[in-house]
Amino acid sequence: MIRQLRLALRTGIVTEPAAPDPALETLGRRLSDEVRRLFGRSLHIRQVDAGSCNGCELEISGLTGPHYDLERFGLHFVASPRHADCLLVTGPVTRSMAEALRRTWDATPDPKLVIAAGDCARDGGLFAGSYAVVGGVAAVVPVDAIIPGCPPSPRALLEGLLAVIARRAGSRARR
Amino acid sequence: MTRELGLVLLQVVIVAGGAPLLVGALRTMKARLVGRRGPRVLQPYADLAKLLRKDAVVSTTTSWIFRVTPYVLIASMLVAALIVPLLLARPVLDFAGLVLLMYLFVLGTFFLALAGLDAGSAFGGMGSSREVAVAALAEPTIMVAILALALRAETTNLGGIMARFAEAPQLAANPGHLLAFAALFLVMLAETGRLPVDNPATHLELTMIHEAMVLEYSGHYLALVEWASAMKLFLFMALLANLFFPWGMPAVPTLTALAIGALVFAGKLAVLTAGLAVLETAIAKLRLFRVPEMLAGSFALALLSVLAVFLLP
Amino acid sequence: MTAPLYAIVTGFGLVAGSVGITGVLGLTWTLRVGAIVPLGGLALEMDPLAGLFLALVGFSVAASSCYAVGYVTARRGAGAYVAFALALGVVPLAANAMTFLLAWEVMSLASWALVLDGRDDVPSRRAAWVYAVMTHAGLACLLAGMLLLASHTGTLHFADWRAASPTLPAGLRNAVWFLLAVGFASKAGVIPLHVWLPLAHSAAPSHVSALMSGVMIKLGVYGLLRAGLEWLAPGPAWWGGALLILGALSAVVGILYALVDADLKRLLAFSSIDNVGVILIGVGGALLFVRAEAESLAALALIAALYHTINHAAFKTLLFLGAGAVVHATRTRSMEAYGGLIKRMPWTAACFLAGAVSISALPPLNGFVSEWLTFQALLQSVRVAQPGVSLIFALGTAALALTAGLTAACFVKAFGITFLALPRSDAAEHAHDATVSMRLAMAALAVACVALGLGATVIVPALANVAASVLGAPSEPTHVAALTFSVVGGFASLSPVIVAAGLVAGLVAPVVFLVAAGSPRRARAGETWGCGRIVQTPRMEYTAGAFADPFKRVFRFFYRPVKRIDLEVHPESRFFVRRMEYANPARALFDEWLYRPVLRGMRALAGYAQALQSGNAAAYLGYILAALLALLVLR
């Protein structure tokens, strides 16, 4: 116990600053200023794996670690869609997960956002056209933003999330 | 009369307003201890404000119990807030004692457990079952620790206990007293759902106790439930700080006295919060069926504290 | 046809209750009629303690009878019910041994007939049989004890016994106490004499179970109070210690068995054992304090016990009546078939919730006030400067606290599994709410629970009167000031009214805050979050057995559960399971470790005694001659 604490205190804070400049595709239908104001300081995210290969999940799990630390921006992963403001969906949406994704979206209270992370979530990616795949998250639920990449790096994910809620670079990012 | 009303308002504002700050400070401290920058200390306020403006989704399986429970939780915490001595050496509701305080917490747990069962999901039922089990096993420790305190102070009335310690401050340094502190600290971990009993930040439903009951809440209901559990943590910490380290608490509510009292109180809470953050960072969650062993250990500590009253007067 | 009869009984119950209250307030009287009962005639005497129990009987009978108006459809059992109610009313008033014992026996026989309820199946017959045997064993002890005391004092009148109590020799005192205590404790359902209680109370129709649990077992407590504090006072310390320890044991064991039970009425019956244990903790404490000459503390403990007696009568009757409505609507007693009843039986659910909140001792209802008083009486044990006594009190405190926590858990289960979520069976799906008279009875009891809690500042002084009359010494165990009452020595104080007001204000405050903060408070209907699964069925809900599982594990050493898994596999491959049945029942330890060996021993003895029944007429004549000679010699 003491050894772990000493190691932590010796290592110090290792969080890197973030600077948004993403290759983000924002569809912007429901991203009104009002919504950005509501979520600007507090966005709770529920990650949904709609048949992904878990490459994107590995990158997303890096976001909660000390280097990328999404919590410093008021972003937070939650366990239940009832607690969530935003669904971060990965995977090409396989047929088996289509209904589950839709139910998850139904269970999320309004106002809510859907962010599709990864090339598969954008349009099926590698698996586009497969018999097992519905074809991108937009085929099941309305999407507000797409973070491309296969997989998108944690930096790209973080920058994408910040751009969605319009958090500007400067004093906030350098904290 | 207006002074009493002013004090009531002050205690409610301190507890309701300070609880999110306590939770935020705890989260930030835990993050810093593992090398992360962590959320802002005021983040819980932003979370609550956002939740208040969101819609709620209420399952058709639930009944009025589900919708009433958040209000019952807040009500029991607000009454408890009037019972715990915060800044002054006596609480606002003069008559109240430790037994009433403990039963107010049980009231909240009872309704939250019912709300967990109401949605008809397996998670909720599991959370309710585990939560009432942990709460039931923590009860004997609480009562025996209260017995130890009451034996020393010759009253269970919180104002009376504070007065007794004001007369004889050396009582607080008695080893038996510290044993009671240790026992109640372990009980606090169990009742407020902190590590090692329950991880408040877990996503794995099968490891949840308190969070599993709350999975179904959303919108303003969720805001009230989260707020009530933050207030419960705040009240437990305040109780531990003020009962066991009863220094710097004025008896008369003049402005300077209140200011000094507030500073001392904030300092005590900060130390306790830091201690809790270090503890939560350093240890892992216990397997669920090891928790009764931990609670049995806390019961043994409380019993020792009672014995110490007779052996170490 | 029977409805008017029950309505009349309701009226009489209310009258009796009011008469009882006048007795509590000090209006005492006696009534002697020489002829009706042999060996002394019918003698009734009203004093504060009798008045308290008569009030308890009267109001509970009124509630049960009002319920029965809408609940009972058959003529069978009406006569037994009237006899039962009458006997319940006479027992507290009885002023001599024969009146008491006759009323006691009528009470037992009438309730036996009501438990059997004209049914012929094995479980009902067994319940009735065990009940009959236990209650008559208890009667035998009572008879022996009373006759022993009567033969020493030369009289059968209780007033004379009270006067003669200081002069009894120690051996006789202890022997009579032992016999009377065993008799009364078996009626009260104290461990280990409790086996009849879960069987009888769950087999009987619900309005009868309500009376048995709410009133009849309290008369066992009444007997213990009379015996320990009046007829045989002052007793040695081990009486109080034994009662306290047995009370603590009953409290914990009762609630542990209630927790793992899936039969709603048996759960309530075990909970009655638990509450009787709590009452006996108070009574035992009172006896110990009397011995230690702490008069006001003894009065305090006695007030706590009496208050819990009244409160338990109120909320247990309420709970049984509610359970009766549920069983009537769903035709089963198993909680595994309930669910979703809050939407189909809203009145019953609301009343049952009031009962559940009361029995879990949650502020500001009545259960909280009496448990609070019991705690305060126990916590003050430090004033009694004997470490042995203090240790017993500390253990009692821990047991009481454990019981309180477990009771809350048990009633979360009872209310939650029965009324919440989705119906687990067709019967629950099509349940209908109770009839008007049933709702009226339950609502009246729910209001009584609230009133008994909020009216503590009025009730506590009245009980102090009763305690003073029983203990025979005036003392000031409590002090009432406006809305607050405090216990002796400024040890603690409580104001249920202020707490209730605070809670109501606390319920309103968040609403005001939400409106002021501009929260839209919009809610959309949806379905329960189930991780995106396609179908939600009642099979996914938590069951009663699953809810109790953590307790079964933690208290494994006590339950000693026996796990049974029955698998039905596909004939082609044992890896495809078609059906699986899992059961993990707790073992009934008292049956296995105490009663079966005792019964086996008795049967063995009876086997030896059978040798006497040789069928030889000459041998029988020889027995008669021997008996005659013995009587002539012993005279």
Q: Predicted confidence band at C295 (pLDDT cuts at 50, 70, 90)? A: confident
Q: Mean pLDDT across chain C, nearest whole number? A: 90
User: Chain A interface, mutation test: which of B27, B32, B34, B58, most A Cβ atoms within 10 Å?
Assistant: B34
At residue A82, the pLDDT reads 95
Closest-CA distance, C51 to chain B, in angstroms, reads 31
CB-CB under 8 Å, A11 with B33? no
Q: Predicted confidence band at A90 (pLDDT cuts at 50, 70, 90)? A: very high
CB-CB under 8 Å, A101 with C532? yes
Name every residue whose Cβ is closer than 8 Å to that of residue B265 and which is 6 or more positions away in sequence: B86, B87, B238, B241, B242, B248, B249
Nearest Cα residue in chain B from A75: B39
Q: Predicted confidence band at C491 (pLDDT cuts at 50, 70, 90)? A: confident
Q: Is the pLDDT of residue A29 over 60?
A: no
At residue C385, the pLDDT reads 66
CB-CB under 8 Å, C490 with B120? no
Q: Is the pLDDT of residue A31 over 70?
A: no
Per-residue DSSP letters for C538-571?
GGGSPPHHHHTHHHHHHTHHHH----EEEEEE-S
Report d(CA C195, CA C137) in Å as an integer: 13
Type of residue numbered C357: V
Q: Predicted confidence band at A27 (pLDDT cuts at 50, 70, 90)? A: low
CB-CB under 8 Å, B43 with A82? no
Type of residue numbered B75: A
Name every residue whose Cβ is closer than 8 Å to that of residue C544 and which is 6 or more positions away in sequence: C262, C335, C336, C413, C417
Checking DSSP bridges between strand A113-117 and strand B56-59, what pairing results, if any? unpaired
User: Greater confidence, B148 or C406?
Assistant: C406
Q: Is the pLDDT of residue A99 over 80?
A: yes
Number of domains forming the structure of chain B:
1
Checking DSSP bridges between strand B56-59 and strand C523-526, what pairing results, if any? parallel
Closest-CA distance, A49 to chain B, in angstroms, reads 14
Q: Is the pLDDT of residue C466 over 80?
A: yes
CB C552 within 8 A of CB C584: yes
CB-CB under 8 Å, A79 with B203? yes
What's the rounded mean pLDDT across residues A121-142? 91
Closest-CA distance, A147 to chain C, in angstroms, reads 24
Per-residue DSSP letters for C247-266?
HHHHHHHHHHHHHT--BHHH
Type of residue numbered A148: P
Three-state SS at C292: coil
Closest-CA distance, C520 to chain A, in angstroms, reads 12
Token pair 């805050």: residue? C513
Per-residue DSSP letters for A56-116?
HHHHHHHTTSTTT-GGGGTEEE-SSGGG-SEEEEES--BHHHHHHHHHHHHHSPSS-EEEE
Q: Predicted confidence band at A170 (pLDDT cuts at 50, 70, 90)? A: very low
**Cβ within 8 Å of B, A 81-140:** 82-83, 85, 107-111
At residue B87, the pLDDT reads 81
Three-state SS at B59: strand
Measured N-to-C along each axis, helices C436-454 and C496-516 cross at an angle, to the nearest 10 degrees, of 100
Nearest Cα residue in chain A from C524: A109
At residue C343, the pLDDT reads 94
Q: Where are the domains of chain C?
A: 236-473, 589-634
Closest-CA distance, B283 to chain A, in angstroms, reads 7
Q: Go through chain B and tell me how many residues it has.
A: 313
Pairs across B and C, CB distance < 8 A: 263
At residue C350, the pLDDT reads 96
Per-residue DSSP letters for C116-132?
HTT--SHHHHHHHHHHH
Report d(CA B15, CA B91) in Å as an integer: 13
Q: Could you tell me the residue range of the domain that residue B145 belongs to?
A: 2-311
What's the rounded mean pLDDT across residues C299-323? 95
* Three-state helix/strand/coil letters over C43-102: EEEECHHHHHHHHHHHHHHHHHHHHHHHHCCCCCCHHHHHHHHHHHHHHHHECEHHHHHH
Report d(CA C450, CA C358) in Å as an integer: 8
Of the candidates C394, C421, C517, the beta carbon closest to that of B147 is on: C394
Q: Go through chain A and tell me how many residues it has.
A: 175
Checking DSSP bridges between strand A113-117 and strand A145-147, what pairing results, if any? parallel
Handedness of CA B205, B211, B216, B219 (dihedral sign): negative
Reading phi first (left if > 0) and then psi (alpha if -120 to 50, else beta), residue B254 is in: beta
Q: Is the pLDDT of residue A174 over 50?
A: no
What residues in chain B have per-residue pLDDT under 70? 313
Per-residue DSSP letters for C202-245?
HHS-HHHHHHIIIIIHHHHHHHHHHIIIIISPSPPHHHHHHHHH
CB-CB under 8 Å, B215 with A80? yes
Nearest Cα residue in chain C from A102: C532
CB-CB under 8 Å, C533 with A107? no
At residue A175, the pLDDT reads 42
Token pair 């009364």: residue? C184
**Cβ within 8 Å of C, A 58-87:** 80-82
Q: pLDDT by residue (tens digit) across B24-44?
A: 999 999 999 988 888 999 999
**Cβ within 8 Å of A, B 39-78:** 39-40, 43, 46-47, 49-50, 53-57
For the record, the structure tokens of C350 come out as 């609301």
In angstroms, the Cα distances linking A13 to A8, B33, B275, C27, C135 are: 9, 8, 20, 80, 74
* Three-state helix/strand/coil letters over C304-368: HHHHHHHHHHHHHHHHHHHHHHHHHHHCCCEHHHCCCHHHHCHHHHHHHHHHHHHHCCCCCCHHH
Q: Is the pLDDT of residue C382 over 50?
A: yes
Report d(CA C252, CA C275) in Å as an integer: 10
Name the residue among C523, C514, A40, A34 with its Cα closest to residue B47: A40
In angstroms, the Cα distances linking A90 to A46, A57, A139, A146, B169 are: 11, 8, 13, 10, 61
At residue A19, the pLDDT reads 65
Of the candidates A8, A15, A38, the beta carbon closest to that of B33 is on: A8
Type of residue numbered C290: V
Nearest Cα residue in chain B from C511: B71
For the record, the structure tokens of A22 come out as 């993403």
Percent pLDDT > 70 in chain C is 99
Report d(CA C225, CA C231) in Å as an integer: 9
CB-CB under 8 Å, B52 with C519? yes
Q: Is the pLDDT of residue C292 over 90?
A: no
